[in-house]
Every structure is written in structure tokens, then in C-alpha cells.
Amino acid sequence: MLKTQLKKDFDRKDFDAGASALKILTWYFVSVLFIRSGIIPFSTIIVFLLRLFGAKIGKDVRIKPGIYIHYPWKLNIGDHAWLAECRIENLEKVTIEANACVSQQALLLTGNHNYTSVNFDLIVKPIVLEEGAWVGANATVCPGVTLKSHSVLTVGSVATKDLEPYSIYQGNPAIKVKDRVIVT
């Protein structure tokens, strides 16, 4: 029953994985063997492999081993961004702009299901982290959310709606707790 339902979700005419079954399978094994395993400790090699599979990545990007990226061809990362051992479930496009940071065990989640539908339909929406945004450790960014310029989602918080620029959000669901003041 469950297998049939999952197959039905991914066989929908409006869902596009963005790659052939062979590319998806190849990425799965490359990801498991070389990236998620931590066997490659160098960010430059991880960036190279992600680019090889279609990720658009700027210069001087740091990506830690152990990261999980569902579909690299649906990932855009700007210059000088930092990604720790996080999970990017990008069934839809994820954009991480310059100088943004995604901390340890954070989750960027672009897909969910319509729990009011008898078919439990798959819903996918893109995520955008604008320049200088920061997702704290163990925080979750839900489908369709934009973290505006230099906003912060604190440790363990859940963003269910857009975060205002230069603001700090906390809790579940995350609410603004104060302005972010950057000292130069």
C-alpha cells in the first residue's frame, strides 16, 4: 500500500525530478559513497562532484562532508556560502545566495503532502536563502519559504513563512524576536 502510494506521488504528471532515472541512480551512489560517507574531506572535491551533477555553485563555497543533497541539479549556491552537515531535500529548486550559511543538521524541505487530500498529493515549493541569511543548527525551513537578506533562523527553529530582512527568528513556528545588527 505505502509503496504504491509513494510510486503514485512520484509518477504524477506535474512532478519533474529534472533528470533521468539513470542520472538519479548514479547520483545516489556517488552521494552515498563519496559525500554522505565523509570519505572525501575536501570541500573542493565535493563542489566538483556537485557541479558534475548540475549544481550551480559560485566561488569559494565551503561544503562539509556528510551533507545530504537530494537533487544537485536543483541547487544554486552563491559565492562564499557555507554548508555544514545539513540535509537539503530539494524536490524543487533551492537557492542559497552569497555569504549565506546552513548549519549542522539543518533541514531545507521543499516537499510535503496535502494531508486534506484523499490522494495525499505531493506539494513542492522552492526555498530561497537570500544574501547573508543564516539557518542555525537543527533548524527547519519549510517549502516555499524565503529567508530574506541577512535574516537568521536560530537553533532548532522552524520557518513556516518568509523571514524579514535583518531579523532574528526563533521557535516553532519561528517568530521574530529582534533585529539583526551587523557591526563592521
Q: Is residue 3 part of a domain?
A: no
Three-state secondary structure call for residue 52 = helix
Torsion on CA atoms 94, 95, 101, 103, rounded to nearest 10: 0
Please report the pLDDT score of residue 34 as a whole number: 93
C-alpha cell at 1: 500500500
Q: Can you give the pLDDT at residue 119?
A: 85
Would residue 14 count as lying in a domain? no
| CATH number for the domain that contains residue 74 | 2.160.10.10
pTM of the model: 0.90
**Cis omega (within 30 of 0) for bond into 143:** no
Does the residue 67 lie in any domain? Answer: yes
Task: For residue 127, tell me if it sits in a domain.
Answer: yes
pLDDT tens string 119-159: 888 999 999 999 999 999 999 999 999 999 999 999 999 99
Average pLDDT over the chain reads 92
User: What's the pLDDT tens digit per position in 32-53?
Assistant: 999 999 888 889 999 999 999 9
For 11-144, where are the alpha helices, taking DSSP H only? 21-30, 43-52
In a domain, 182, yes or no: no
Could you tell me the three cell numbers for 129?
Answer: 536563502
Contact in structure between 153 and 132 (CB atoms under 8 Å): no
**pLDDT by residue (tens digit) across 66-92?**
999 999 999 999 999 999 999 999 999
Establish if 150 belongs to a structural domain: yes
Question: Would you say residue 59 lies in a domain?
Answer: yes
Selected residue with higher pLDDT from 5 and 150: 150
- Look at residue 114 and tell me if it is in a domain: yes
Per the structure, the count of domains in the chain is 1
Whether the CB-CB separation of 115 and 132 falls below 8 Å is answered with no
Range of the domain at 166: 20-176
Q: What is the pLDDT of residue 7?
A: 52
